């Protein structure tokens, strides 16, 4: 995952060489992921094809057959005990589900989940069949269609029932959480998590507006392999800051035609000199290699940098990811930086 393809934000295709493989990113990776709870309540969940008892009867969970994004008929166990959802761990953790293995790349993991998944072994992002088999999953959830091409789906499905969410669902974290919640019989937990997140975001927005102002812009930059990328408003931390918290997009994003924006858009150092954002959040994946860039005249000449309005963030944090867990941590970082 995180193999970087700026035109395919819904797939697991951002790559961070060494520390992370370039996202979602992604999806990051354009889409509209900044809807509110009312919007997300209409999100399509897995399409069940069996008749279940009315909710008021509190019937026990039953095996059900659903149709995934690729048209597969998938039989979901009544109560999955060994769930594998590579790169979907944020959603599983939010629902109180511990996966049998967690996504990894180049010996790296999603560090912001390290406490919640500290005892969970890793599995490579490309899902080696031998490794999948060794974890003996009883249900498998896959993020995108592109990750199970060339016969891989059929091979995975022989190991355990495999459900593909698909890019249309995966690009919206609320829809993703609701769908996974439905699959795992945890819809109430999913709805509660969304409601709690939306309340937190609304309260944070009020604090930020009162302290930082409602008419100032912020930029989110990612420095990796000595190159800068600037986030769009549709995914990961961009959806949080520009959608949920109502902060203004910087000029360098609004100047990019909407239909050609990626989640993370490459920006040359010369173009970056034109950035007029009031505050910069810098996700720095080049602590040593790019020090010369951050100490150079172009970077130091950017108005927000000159004013000292830069918050540097570790690439091991939540800003490159999406989900209730990641986004909540991102809000904490924004409050710490902008609310005085």
For the chain, what percent of residues have pLDDT higher than 70? 82
Express each pLDDT in 170-201 by its tens digit: 999 999 999 999 999 999 999 999 999 999 99
Q: How far apart are CA 138 and CA 80, in angstroms?
A: 6
Domains 37-193 and 200-338 share a fold: yes
Q: What CATH number is given for 200-338 in this structure? A: 3.40.50.1980
For the chain, what percent of residues have pLDDT higher than 90? 74
Mean per-residue pLDDT, 307-320: 95
* 47-48 vs 64-67, strand pairing mode: antiparallel
More confident residue, 8 or 95: 95
Q: Cβ(13)–Cβ(29) under 8 Å?
A: yes
Express each pLDDT in 29-66 by its tens digit: 333 343 333 333 334 445 445 444 455 555 677 999 99
Q: How far apart are CA 82 and CA 27, in angstroms?
A: 27
Q: What is the pLDDT of residue 11?
A: 36
Q: Cβ(212)–Cβ(338) under 8 Å?
A: yes
Q: How far apart are CA 306 and CA 217, in angstroms?
A: 16
More confident residue, 288 or 36: 288
- Cβ partners under 8 Å of residue 21, min gap 6: 1, 2, 3, 4, 14, 15, 105, 106, 125
Two tokens, residue 38: 């009312």
Q: Each residue of 164-183: b (16+ CB within 10 Å) or e? A: bbbbebbbbbbbbbbbbbbb
More confident residue, 45 or 318: 318
Phi-psi region of 246 (alpha: psi -120 to 50; beta: other; left: phi over 0): left
Q: Cβ(277)–Cβ(212) under 8 Å?
A: no
Express each pLDDT in 216-227 by its tens digit: 999 999 999 899
Q: Cβ(138)–Cβ(97) under 8 Å?
A: no
Q: What is the pLDDT of residue 57?
A: 53
Q: What is the pLDDT of residue 295?
A: 93
Give the torsion through C-alpha atoms of 145, 165, 120, 96, to 10 deg.
170
Domain boundaries, the chain: 37-193, 200-338
Q: What is the pLDDT of residue 234?
A: 87
pLDDT of 149 over the 80 cut: yes
Q: What is the pLDDT of residue 263?
A: 86
Q: Cβ(141)–Cβ(165) under 8 Å?
A: yes
pLDDT of 22 over the 60 cut: no
CATH 3.40.50.2300 fits 37-193, yes or no: no
How many CB atoms sit inside 10 A of residue 308's CB?
6
Cα angle 300, 316, 85 (rounded to 5 degrees) comes to: 140
């Amino acid at each position: 995952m995180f193999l970087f393809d700026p035109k395919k934000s819904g797939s697991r295709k951002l790559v961070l060489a060494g520390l992370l493989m370039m996202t979602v990113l992604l999806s990051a990776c354009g889409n509209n992921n900044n809807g509110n709870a009312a919007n997300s309540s209409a999100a399509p969940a897995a399409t069940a094809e069996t008749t279940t008892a009315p909710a008021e009867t509190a019937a026990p969970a039953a095996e059900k057959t659903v149709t995934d994004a690729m048209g597969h008929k998938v039989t979901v166990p009544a109560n999955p005990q060994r769930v594998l959802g590579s790169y979907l761990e944020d959603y599983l953790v939010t629902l109180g589900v511990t996966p049998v293995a967690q996504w990894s790349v180049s010996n790296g993991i999603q560090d912001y989940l390290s406490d919640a998944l500290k005892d969970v072994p890793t599995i490579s992002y490309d899902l080696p069949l031998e490794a999948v088999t060794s974890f003996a999953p009883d249900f498998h959830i896959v993020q995108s269609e592109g990750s199970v091409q060339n016969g891989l789906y059929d091979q995975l499905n022989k190991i355990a029932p495999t459900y593909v969410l698909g890019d249309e669902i995966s690009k919206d974290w609320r829809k993703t959480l609701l769908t996974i919640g439905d699959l795992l019989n945890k819809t109430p937990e999913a709805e509660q998590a969304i409601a709690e997140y939306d309340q937190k975001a609304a309260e944070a927005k009020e604090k930020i507006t009162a302290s930082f102002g409602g008419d100032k812009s912020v930029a989110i930059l990612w420095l990796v392999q000595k190159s800068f990328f600037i986030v769009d408003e549709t995914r990961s931390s961009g959806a949080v800051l520009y959608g949920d918290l109502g902060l203004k997009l910087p000029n360098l994003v609004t100047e990019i035609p909407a239909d050609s924006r990626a989640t993370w858009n490459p920006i040359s150092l010369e173009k970056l000199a034109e950035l007029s954002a009031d505050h910069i959040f810098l996700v720095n994946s080049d602590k040593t290699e790019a020090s010369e860039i951050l100490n150079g005249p172009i970077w130091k000449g950017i108005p927000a940098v000159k004013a000292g309005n830069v918050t540097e963030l570790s690439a091991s944090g939540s800003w490159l990811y999406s989900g209730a867990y990641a986004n909540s941590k991102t809000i904490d970082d924004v409050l710490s930086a902008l609310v005085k």
